[in-house]
Structure formats: structure tokens, C-alpha cells
Amino acid sequence: MQDAKLAPNLPDWMVEHTKRYLASGGTDGHLYRIQQKDRPELTVPSLLLVTTGRKSGERYIFPLFYGDTAGGYFVVASKGGAPEHPGWYKNLLANPEVEVQVGTRHLKARARIAAGAERARLWEQALGFWPPYADYQQKTEREIPVVVLEAI
């Protein structure tokens, strides 16, 4: 992760969260506490995903909420319900070999898009740790992808 840099255009809270995560080696920031308007406080597990830029070839770090799945982890390409997919998702479509930091654990992984019953199961699991995903899906016409990160 040393040669990777923070993705451009991240919101301030994500930049601060990622800096804390990296500075602590993953001991601070793995569990992210957030209070949203009209919702109870949530503690959400977060990982750092490193993708290779599809245009630049540079390595970028993205902080993402995640869930556990057999053989790895999964993340949701929501972009808050925006009409287009997030940049990190477009990057891994071009190059599915990624690096992941979960707490203090570092691993190389291969990303793949979940489909069918697997996607439905993981989507429900994601709603359990981050209920706003349901709101994001209502805001967009695209089906929000669920990405499985399998250790290699």
C-alpha cells in the first residue's frame, strides 16, 4: 500500500478516516462510528481497497464499508445512489487484481461481481451493517453492484 495514494475527490470525512486508518496501521479506523441525521449511531466495519486506475495506471486507496463472505470480503458500489458507478468499481472492472487492508491484515485479492442468489444474499447482509444502501438503491435506476474480494 506504500506506493498507493488517496483517491482524488473523496469527501473530507473519508480522507480523515483513511489517514487515521493508515497512520495507525489499521488499529484505529477499522470500525467506523457514524451518526446520521434521523438514524441511530452505527459502527460499521471498513476496509481500504487499492485499485489500479483504468486510465492513469496509478494505484488509489478507497475506504469502503464491508461484509464478510466465504473466502474473503464484499463491498457495495453504491456511490450514494449516484446514477453512475464509483471510480473504484470502474477501475476493478478493468483490472480485478486489488490490494485490501482489513484492520491490520493486508492481502492481495481478486474482485468479482456477485450475481443472482449470491448478490441477493450479500445485499441483505449489507443492509444489516449499512441500512442507507436501501435509500441509495431507490435513488438510482442502476442495480448497485456487490463486489466480492477473494484472497489470492
CA dist 132 to 76, 79, 82, Å? 12, 11, 13
The pLDDT assigned to 20 comes to 93
Q: 37-50 burial, b if ≥16 CB within 10 A, otherwise e?
A: eeeeeeeebbbbbb
What pTM, to 2 d.p., does this model score?
Answer: 0.93
Residue 37's pLDDT is what? 73
CA nearest neighbour of 45 among 70, 71, 26: 26
Query: In whole numbers, what is the pLDDT of the chain averaged over residues?
Result: 93
| Residue 81, domain extent | 5-151
pLDDT of the residue at 120: 97
Total domains in the fold of the chain = 1
- Reported as a pLDDT band with limits 50, 70 and 90, residue 131 is very high
Is the pLDDT reported for residue 39 higher than 90? no
CATH label of the domain that carries residue 81: 2.30.110.10
Res 29: pLDDT: 86
Q: How far is residue 70 CA from its own chain's centroid?
A: 17
Percent of the chain with pLDDT over 90: 84
Q: In 3D, which of 92, 107, 99 has the Cα closest to residue 147?
A: 92
57: region left, alpha or beta (phi > 0 left; psi from -120 to 50 alpha): left
**Tens digit of pLDDT for each residue in 83-130?**
999 999 999 999 999 999 999 999 999 999 999 999 999 999 999 999
Q: Kindly state the average pLDDT of the residues 58-85.
A: 95
Tell me the mean pLDDT in the region 61-77.
Answer: 95
